[in-house]
Structure 1
């Protein structure tokens, strides 16, 4: 509803971004919204990397590493650097590939993972969150319809 952390990480889709409901911005954003980087929550496909850890302490360590390198300075984590942290910390088989999940459609991923993946601005990194599989951090690399 009112996530304060999203606006400082939103250089790609300049302008106002909805945290979840696109209805309020539909009339304002239509003219500018032709880019694939816009349309938070309304796109059909997302390209993402993630880090998955069974324990909250481990995911917090990974997030701290990302914060110390980039996020505390308001910078976006470069995909290659996120990949290094994923290789080091992720317990998912995708961790060996830098956490790369490639492009996936809406409906393929479960509950909270899908919500975060489809609502994270392109280039931004999510805060750690919990799903039925464990604790995740997501880097959104792209979106398309």
Structure 2
């Protein structure tokens, strides 16, 4: 964003610099307090579960099971149900705990895993994606600063 765009009149009477800044933040998807309007914000910790499979076919099977049960109806997958699928399909040691990774800070997980974990809404399940460790599905259970 250029310098000129910040100095433009915000178009409404009675709006000061603060209101103009709020308008700018809203156009970037941010609400008051630096949190984005989609709830992702700038949190520093995420609580997540995941399913990890070496083969794409196996992660697609797990995702289909989640889709058939909840996602195809637009429902969110309950953590206990996600845990059952993780126990059945995940090849990660966390699979024995239902895929539970607990709380982890930004910077702890590598590349695409971190990106997906910190950009998935609370209660939502990611689509399958590939990382250096294999194929994952993530369920975001919480976020905090």
Structure 1 outlier segments of 4+, above 2 Å:
1-20, 22-39
Relative distance call for 1:41 and 1:69 in structure 2 (3 A) is same
Using a 3 Å threshold, how does the CA distance of structure 1 residues 47 and 38 change in structure 2: closer, same or farther? farther
CA-atom RMSD in angstroms: 9.6
Query: 1:29 corresponds to which residue?
Result: 29
Task: Call closer, same or farther: CA 1:116–1:141 in 2, change over 3 Å.
Answer: same
Report the more deviating stretch, 112-121 or 8-17: 8-17
C-alpha distance in structure 2 between counterparts of 1:70 and 1:4, whole Å? 48
Superposed displacement of residue 42, structure 1: 1.5
Question: C-alpha offsets along residues 91-127 of structure 1, whole Å, 9 cap, x if unaligned?
Answer: 0000000000000000000000000000000000000
TM-score, normalised with respect to structure 2:
0.77
Cα shift readout 1:27-48 (whole Å, capped 9, x = no counterpart): 7866566989964152100000
TM-score by length of 1: 0.77
Larger displacement relative to structure 2 (103-112 or 32-41)? 32-41
Instruction: Give yes or no for contact 1:126–1:138 (8 Å, CA) kept in 2.
Output: yes
Is the 2:30–2:37 contact (alpha carbons within 8 Å) kept by the matching residues of 1? no
Name structure 1 gaps, 5 residues minimum.
Answer: none
Give the Å deviation of 1:15. Answer: 24
Larger Rg: 2
**Which structure carries more relative contact order (alpha carbon 8 Å, separation 6+)?**
1
The 5 A counterparts of 1:109-128 are 109-128=109-128
How much does 1:9 deviate?
A: 36
Answer whether contact 2:87 2:99 (CA < 8 A) is retained: yes
How many residues matched?
A: 144
